[in-house]
C-alpha cells in the first residue's frame, strides 16, 4: 500500500512537471496529438502532459469567466483581453485535445506563441459567445 502511494505521488509529480514543459503552441499541439490518439478511454484518464495542461487551463478559464461575470454585475469594465467563449456543457479532454491539434495544424502562425494563447484561440474559434443583442434606440 505504501509503495502504491509513493508510486502515485511520483507519477503525479512527473506529470505536473511535464505540463510545465509545455511552453509554446507547438509543445501543446505535439503533446495533445499523442493524447488525442489514445484509443482506450480508460487509458485517457491516466496522467498525461496534455491532459494536465488542459485541466489547468480549464481552471483558469473558469476563474476568468467568473471574474468577467462579477465585473459585469458590478458595472465595472472587463479586465480580460481574451474574447468570451461559451464552452459546451460537456467536452472530454480528448476531444478538446483533438480540437487544439486541428487548430494548430490549420493555423501554424500560432505554433510559436505561448501554449495558453493557442488554447484560447482554439476555444474562440470553436466556442464563441453569441453576439450581444442590440439595444433599442
pTM of the model: 0.75
Query: What are the sequence ranges of the domains in the chain?
Result: 2-126
**Backbone φ and ψ of 82, nearest 5°:** -75, 150
Whole-angstrom distance, CA of residue 33 vs CA of residue 3: 32
Whole-angstrom distance, CA of residue 6 vs CA of residue 27: 29
Q: Convert the pLDDT of each residue in 90-131 to its tens digit.
A: 999 999 999 999 999 999 999 999 999 999 999 999 999 888
Q: Convert the pLDDT of each residue in 46-87 to its tens digit.
A: 789 999 999 999 999 888 888 888 887 888 876 667 788 888
Amino acid at each position: 500500500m505504501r509503495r502504491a502511494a509513493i508510486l502515485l505521488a511520483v507519477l503525479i509529480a512527473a506529470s505536473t512537471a511535464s505540463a510545465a514543459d509545455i511552453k509554446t503552441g507547438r509543445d501543446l499541439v505535439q503533446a495533445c496529438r499523442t493524447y488525442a490518439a489514445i484509443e482506450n478511454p480508460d487509458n485517457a484518464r491516466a496522467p498525461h502532459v496534455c491532459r494536465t495542461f488542459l485541466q489547468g487551463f480549464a481552471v483558469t478559464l473558469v476563474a476568468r469567466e467568473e471574474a468577467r461575470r462579477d465585473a459585469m454585475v458590478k458595472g465595472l469594465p472587463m479586465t480580460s483581453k481574451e474574447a468570451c467563449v461559451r464552452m459546451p456543457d460537456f467536452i472530454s479532454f480528448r476531444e478538446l485535445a483533438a480540437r487544439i491539434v486541428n487548430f494548430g495544424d490549420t493555423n501554424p502562425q500560432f505554433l510559436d506563441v505561448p501554449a495558453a494563447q493557442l488554447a484560447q484561440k482554439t476555444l474562440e474559434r470553436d466556442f464563441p459567445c453569441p453576439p450581444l443583442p442590440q439595444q433599442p434606440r
